[in-house]
């Protein structure tokens, strides 16, 4: 049998001879340098593609080449056993307006190189023809890349340039009309290929921005602005006193950032998991990746924008807004096709460069620099879609001992498992390993090749986005190349890194009692001698995969009796040895004193943030409340769920919440006994402001039980599990979660009944209402300006006073009608027209929702057909010929049938209503409407009738529930949103409408206008 390796080239032969013979010229496919006849240059033969390579071109060291040369086993080149080649992009021969060919690429490249250094200054994409044309143009460009037209080479470049050139604000305070006119004009220039003209205009605008005032807004104002834009995480950073500030871009900073992003390391073939051709997968795996998945990913994508300046809000608006229903559907469909191509076909990396580029920011670590990358929003949407689609494959490939692959509760399970293992008598220590510059130095080439074997379905996508260096742009327009590791701002980075370390974990498994990884955070526990072996092998094998252990930051937590033994065994290493404790994945492990000190430091920091939030609540209570419930309270929840026995340590935090935060929300006359009521969930009549000292123990127990199946699997130390075992694990986890939720809900019901028992009979009836479905919707919504969900400080506090029947301040004691101005009277008095306003607002909102849902013949106050001899069973049926109902529409229950609705908003505090249970009260009002109109609508109009009954607290009747759920179904079908999102949207619109009109009726003016005007001071100068 002839050898498959040789020291000379053998051309024109599928099977190389045993001796070097050459009869013609040939070349190495990597460097294209010819092999000549009788040339004794070392070379190696690929048994799959049947080509010869120089050893250096094949990535072989001298030692590796000598070993392979004498081996009789098959050898495969990079293209066969590594990263395969791609198809070059379609040549650029198209015409774009007045320019064509390479001129298009040149002008777009010039524009892109300018905009990457610009400050964010884009206006909101307007609805109407101009906005739709913009979305359609983006869609056209994405399609050009997906279907490989002659614009493929510049399509992504154009997509990432169009926003900065067309959506620049014409002025700092430009109006909506000015923005629309500017967009329409610029679209014409864009289609004509006048990129240089657009660039000149936008550059002039940017120069004005740079020369303008840069006064920073107050923290309070910044927090409120971010919350009203739905940017909760950014608002939380305003509260933090430990956030690092971005550093000014200087040559020194660029040099430090460049050192954090080293050149690509050479491939080490001994770290490849296989050298045979990689397994294939069916492209049909991605057939179900559709526009719905794209929209779902877009809605959940938040954060800053990349170099193009196109924000998550812009992409979400283009894809999901009702203003661009058809265009958004087309765009999501195109993005789904683009994503499927990235997952199934190797593409030319030069066409993807603008999509993969990132914004790079250097943060001050004191000392040192922390590089932060912000990827393009479009890339993050695509990455999120792919990782969600391949979630099960990614988890299986990473294994149960690498918990950064998307396992639910993975981090908590890791902490519980590590704590339990460390507490065992036979365990001597635990080592928490730190890796230097972890994500930035992963051996990209090695890991991409390994990915073809570890997770074939994920590999093509990763090769497409990581096979070439990525530009990381700073705000001055300069950039740093990312040639190694993963890039920050990429949703695929964490699963890529997690799976890539699996071969390393397999190497380490033979010398470890217990090991666990969460991304780059590796840990080993057990006997000290085994931990030392694990550390030694990690230092030996890790660098080949791009994992460089840093002993000076790695901590060995050892039990007191084993301290000297640990010092002896780890002599000669930089590992820090302690008997106190260590922070593992954000939770303390060690002695009670270490845990207590760790928690107390955190509680002190959180208490300061609660006090800061209390100051904000004095002027922006709604934003402060939303910031607490959606952001700040989540910070200590993780520590509660992963650390046992720390409930009493949260006493200072509870004191701040009780004495500062809640009074700042409700007002100066906050009753002292309201704390328990506020701790209930909003749906149960509370505010969802839990009592930390009571919450901690319950949260820990819940987390421990919910993660029990995964924790037990970790303790088994099984590197890989079967798909069947994975499905069983998922089923067990769902069962554990359901059991915990049942117990939790039972405990909440008991707390609710206990709080209810302390109330008066009147307050119990009111409590029944506010704990009903829909009554708390306005509390659980973000204060989004876009949807009209913002309340001023008086409205928010009045809403809480009304919710808990607390006294109002600043309301006259007597009404203009002469009666006592009680809260019940304010809601019933007809003077001022506020009762009608409340009714009419719900009527008009319902009509608008019917139009949005695509219903036909929507009519407000339709007149009923006259009675011409018909008789009805009930005398209460309205028979007046001029009778009208509130709203009618077709295509609600069925395509052709018509529905009539009539609305009633009853005063919850009226004596006739408060004396009955809420259920009976609503039933009575619905029955009255049915008796008045149902028979006439059915028999005369040949249509259906639905009474829409609401209480002033926001509770709707059962028939209204059914009606609006059907409306949500139609709205979801029309807009492409999910049914749950549509239901939530409708509930919030109704809730805020009712709340605002109710509060207007309480605070609204009912006196004589002339009298009120004359009562003002006469010290007025009229000019």
CA angle, residues 354, 356, 359, in degrees to nearest 5 = 85
Residue 945 tokens, joined: 């009738």
Return the bridge partners of 889, or none: 899
CA 685 to chain centre: 29
The pLDDT value given to residue 7 = 45
3-state secondary structure of 719: coil
State how far Cα 610 lies from the chain centre.
24
DSSP-based three-state secondary structure for 1018 = coil
Residue in 984, 921, 976 with CA at minimum distance from that of residue 773: 984
Q: Is 720 exposed, middle or buried (0-12, 13-18, 19+ CB in 10 A)?
A: middle
Residue with tokens 């139609």, as numbered in its chain:
970
What is the distance, to the nearest Å, from the Cα of residue 12 to the centroid of all Cα atoms in its chain?
A: 56
Question: What's the pLDDT score for residue 878?
Answer: 87
Q: Give CA–CA dist 649/607, Å, rounded.
A: 12
Rounded to two decimals, the pTM is 0.86
Cα–Cα distance measured from residue 199 to residue 161, given in angstroms and rounded to the nearest whole number: 10
Helix axes 834-852, 958-975, angle to 10 degrees: 40
Distance from C-alpha of 298 to C-alpha of 304, rounded to nearest angstrom: 14
The confidence score (pLDDT) of residue 363 equals 84
In contact, 435 and 548? CB cutoff 8 Å: yes
The four Cα atoms 84, 359, 292, 228 give a dihedral, to 10 degrees, of 170
DSSP 8-state secondary structure symbol assigned to residue 863: B
Q: Output the 3-class SS for 185-218.
A: HHHHHHHCCCHHHHHHHHHHHHHHHHHCCCCCCC
pLDDT along the chain (1023 residues), means of 10: 39 38 56 67 78 78 75 70 82 90 93 91 93 96 95 95 95 90 96 94 86 58 91 87 73 89 83 78 92 93 90 93 90 96 94 94 82 93 96 94 92 95 95 92 92 94 94 88 89 94 94 93 95 96 94 94 95 94 94 95 95 94 95 94 95 95 91 90 93 94 94 92 88 91 92 89 88 92 92 94 89 85 88 91 96 93 90 86 93 91 92 88 94 92 94 93 95 86 94 94 72 38 33
**CA angle, 604 as apex, 601 and 607 as ends, to 5°?**
150
Cα–Cα dist 302/885, whole Å:
44
Angle (nearest 5°) at CA 380 between 376 and 321 = 90
Provide the pLDDT for residue 1007. 66
């Amino acid at each position: 049998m002839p050898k498959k390796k040789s020291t000379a080239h053998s051309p024109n032969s599928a099977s190389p001879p045993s001796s070097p013979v050459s009869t013609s010229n040939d070349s190495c496919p990597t460097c294209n340098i010819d092999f000549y006849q009788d040339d004794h240059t070392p070379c190696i033969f690929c048994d799959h593609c049947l080509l010869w390579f120089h050893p250096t071109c094949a990535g072989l060291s001298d030692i590796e080449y000598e070993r392979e040369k004498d081996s009789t086993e098959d050898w495969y080149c990079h293209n066969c056993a590594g990263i395969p080649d791609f198809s070059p992009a379609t040549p650029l021969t198209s015409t774009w307006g007045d320019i064509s060919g390479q001129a298009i690429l040149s002008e777009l490249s010039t524009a892109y190189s300018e905009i990457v250094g610009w400050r964010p200054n884009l206006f909101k994409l307007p609805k109407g023809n101009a906005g739709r044309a913009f979305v359609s143009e983006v869609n056209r460009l994405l399609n050009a890349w997906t279907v490989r037209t002659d614009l493929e080479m510049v399509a992504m470049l154009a997509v990432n340039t169009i926003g900065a050139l067309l959506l620049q604000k014409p002025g700092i305070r430009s109006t909506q009309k000015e923005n629309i006119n500017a967009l329409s004009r610029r679209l014409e220039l864009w289609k004509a290929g006048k990129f240089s003209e657009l660039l000149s205009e936008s550059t002039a605008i940017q120069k004005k921005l740079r020369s303008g005032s840069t006064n920073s807004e107050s923290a309070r104002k910044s927090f409120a602005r971010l919350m009203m834009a739905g940017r909760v995480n950014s608002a939380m950073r305003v509260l933090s006193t430990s956030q690092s500030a971005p550093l000014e871009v200087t040559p020194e900073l660029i040099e430090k950032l460049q050192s954090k992003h080293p050149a690509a390391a050479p491939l080490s073939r001994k770290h490849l998991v296989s050298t045979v051709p990689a397994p294939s997968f069916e492209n049909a795996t991605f057939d179900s990746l559709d526009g719905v998945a794209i929209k779902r990913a877009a809605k959940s994508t938040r954060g800053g924008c990349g170099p193009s300046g196109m924000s998550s809000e812009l992409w979400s608006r283009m894809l999901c807004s009702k203003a661009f229903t058809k265009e958004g559907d087309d765009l999501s469909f195109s993005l789904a096709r683009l994503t499927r191509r990235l997952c199934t076909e190797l593409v030319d990396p030069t066409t993807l460069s603008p999509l993969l580029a990132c914004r790079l920011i250097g943060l001050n670590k004191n000392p040192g620099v922390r590089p932060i990358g912000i990827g393009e929003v479009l890339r993050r949407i695509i990455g999120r879609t792919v990782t969600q689609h391949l979630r099960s494959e990614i988890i299986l490939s990473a294994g149960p001992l690498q918990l950064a692959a998307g396992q639910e509760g993975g981090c908590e399970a890791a902490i519980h498992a590590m704590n339990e293992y460390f507490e065992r008598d036979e365990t001597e220590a635990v080592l928490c390993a730190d890796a230097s510059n972890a994500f930035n130095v992963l051996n990209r080439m090695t890991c991409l090749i390994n990915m073809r074997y570890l997770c074939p379905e994920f590999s093509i996508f990763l090769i497409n986005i990581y096979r070439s260096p990525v530009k990381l742009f700073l705000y001055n327009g300069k950039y740093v190349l990312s040639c190694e590791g993963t890039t920050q701002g990429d949703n695929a980075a964490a699963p890529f890194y997690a799976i890539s370390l699996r071969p390393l974990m397999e190497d380490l498994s033979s010398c470890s009692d217990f090991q666990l990884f969460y991304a780059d955070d590796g840990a080993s526990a057990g006997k000290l001698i085994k931990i030392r072996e694990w550390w030694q092998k990690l230092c030996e094998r890790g660098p080949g995969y791009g994992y460089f252990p840093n002993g000076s930051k790695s901590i060995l937590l050892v039990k007191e009796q084993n301290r000297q033994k640990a010092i002896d065994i780890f002599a000669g290493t930089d590992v820090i040895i302690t008997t106190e404790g260590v922070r593992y994945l954000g939770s303390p492990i060690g002695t009670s004193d270490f845990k207590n000190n760790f928690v107390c430091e955190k509680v002190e920091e959180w208490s300061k943030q609660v006090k800061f939030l209390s100051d904000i609540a004095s002027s922006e209570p709604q934003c402060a409340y939303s910031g607490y419930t959606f952001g700040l309270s989540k910070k200590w929840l993780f520590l509660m769920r992963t650390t046992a026995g720390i409930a009493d340590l949260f006493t200072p935090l509870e004191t701040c919440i009780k004495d500062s935060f809640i009074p700042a929300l409700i007002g100066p006359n906050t009753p002292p006994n309201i704390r328990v009521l506020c701790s209930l969930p909003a749906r149960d009549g509370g505010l969802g402001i839990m009592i930390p000292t009571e919450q901690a123990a319950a949260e820990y127990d819940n987390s421990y039980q919910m993660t029990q199946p995964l924790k037990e699997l970790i303790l088994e130390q099984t590197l890989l599990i079967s798909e069947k075992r994975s499905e069983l694990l998922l089923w067990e986890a769902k069962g554990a979660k359901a059991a915990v939720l049942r117990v939790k809900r039972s405990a909440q019901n008991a707390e609710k009944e206990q709080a209810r028992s302390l109330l008066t009979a009147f307050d119990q009836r009111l409590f029944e209402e506010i704990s009903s479905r829909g009554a708390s919707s306005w509390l659980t919504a973000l204060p989004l300006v876009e949807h009209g969900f913002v309340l001023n400080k008086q409205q928010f506090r009045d809403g809480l006073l009304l919710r808990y029947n607390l006294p109002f301040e600043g309301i006259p004691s007597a009404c203009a009608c002469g009666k006592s101005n009680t809260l019940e009277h304010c809601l019933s008095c007809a003077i001022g027209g506020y009762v009608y306003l409340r009714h009419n607002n719900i009527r008009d909102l319902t009509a608008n929702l019917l139009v949005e849902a695509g219903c036909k013949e929507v009519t407000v106050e339709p007149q009923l057909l006259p009675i011409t001899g018909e008789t009805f069973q009930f005398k209460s049926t309205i028979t007046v010929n001029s009778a009208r109902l509130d709203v009618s529409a077709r295509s609600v229950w069925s395509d052709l049938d018509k529905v009539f609705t009539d609305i009633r908003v009853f005063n919850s505090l009226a004596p006739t209503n408060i004396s009955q249970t809420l259920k009976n009260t609503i039933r009575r009002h619905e029955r009255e409407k049915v008796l008045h109109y149902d028979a006439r609508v059915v028999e005369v109009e040949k249509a259906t009738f639905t009474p829409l009954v609401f209480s002033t607290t926001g509770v709707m009747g059962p028939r209204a529930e059914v009606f609006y759920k059907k409306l949500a179904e139609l709205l979801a079908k029309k807009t492409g949103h999910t049914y749950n999102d549509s239901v939530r949207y409708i509930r919030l619109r109704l809730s805020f409408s009712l709340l605002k009109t109710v509060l207007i009726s309480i605070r609204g003016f009912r006196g004589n206008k002339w009298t009120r005007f004359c009562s003002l001071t006469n010290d007025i100068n009229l000019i």
